[in-house]
Amino acid sequence: MTELSRIHPALALAGRLRRGERALGGWFCLPEPGFAEALAHQPLDAVVLDVQHGLLDAASIVPTIAAVTRAGKPALVRLPVGDFAMAARALDVGAVGAIAPMIDTAAEARAFVAQVKYPPTGRRSWGAGTAMSLFGVETPTDYLHGANEATLALAMIETREAVEAIDEILAVEGLDGVFIGPNDLSIALTDGARIDVLDRQVDAALDRIAAAARKAGKIAGIFGGAAAYARAFRAKGFAFVTLGLDGMYVAAGVAAMRSEMGEPVDESGPARGY
């Protein structure tokens, strides 16, 4: 059997993260494959496609995943809440990981894993022809026997209930790790009072989650957003951190070019966060 990571570089991300290496991801919300491919050519390790809050859907992720993969980078998909069927669909068309939002319990994590891992770990249905073609995998057996290791199932931790259940969630067989949504977590932990990813309650929860992931030997990821936040989260031990998102990349590029021209730059505008 040929190891999938040797067949295509996008299939190496999971192994890298499991070995404790760090990865920096981009965040993409638009059904624009060309823009996604341009982003994938930047010095990033992966691109996350946001179906939950972005404008992507089940149809538009297909060419967008292909565009990112053509650039040699892995694409992950952040699902709509509870749509575990889309997780399997995303992997079938070439995503290397699925990020499931609002996972509060071990039972929900097991239901997620069941859809994205092949037996004996889960019950993912066979239909990976598009992924095989995209990656250049020649035999179904190679993909079948390698996919569980080469693809990622990441549960989003975004509520008080999830933080309390973090050890049980991380103990779910086949779950590769967790991915934090710090904006929703801050809303939950402040009982809807504010969005503040640096709130002391959020800070304590992030330390708890990162420590639990290390203890379980699993991956800890987080939506970084602005560079200052991403830097702070990386310092806390989160191995997979995303930086910014498509609108922020455009704004930062225009601001940098205006500054280079000597034109005034208005930096007071709000930064969107997902």
Q: Which one, of 205, 238, 208, 236, lies nearest residue 222 by Cα?
A: 238
Q: How far apart are CA 239 and CA 122, in angstroms?
A: 25
Q: How far apart are CA 233 and CA 27, in angstroms?
A: 16
Q: How far apart are CA 234 and CA 22, in angstroms?
A: 9
Within 10 A of 261 (CB to CB), how many other CB atoms are there? 9
Question: Maximum distance among all alpha carbons in the chain?
Answer: 61
Token representation of residue 31? 């059904």
Which of these is catalytic: 8, 41, 53, 145?
A: 53
Q: How far apart are CA 136 and CA 164, in angstroms?
A: 42
Active site residue 53: yes
DSSP for 205-256?
HHHHHHHHHHHHT-EEEEE--SHHHHHHHHHTT-SEEE---HHHHHHHHHHH
Look at the alpha carbons of 77, 83, 85, 86 in this order and tell me if their dihedral is positive or negative: negative
Q: Is the peptide bond before 101 cis (omega within 30 degrees of 0)?
A: no
Q: Which residue has the tokens 């992997």?
A: 91
Catalytic positions, written as ranges: 53
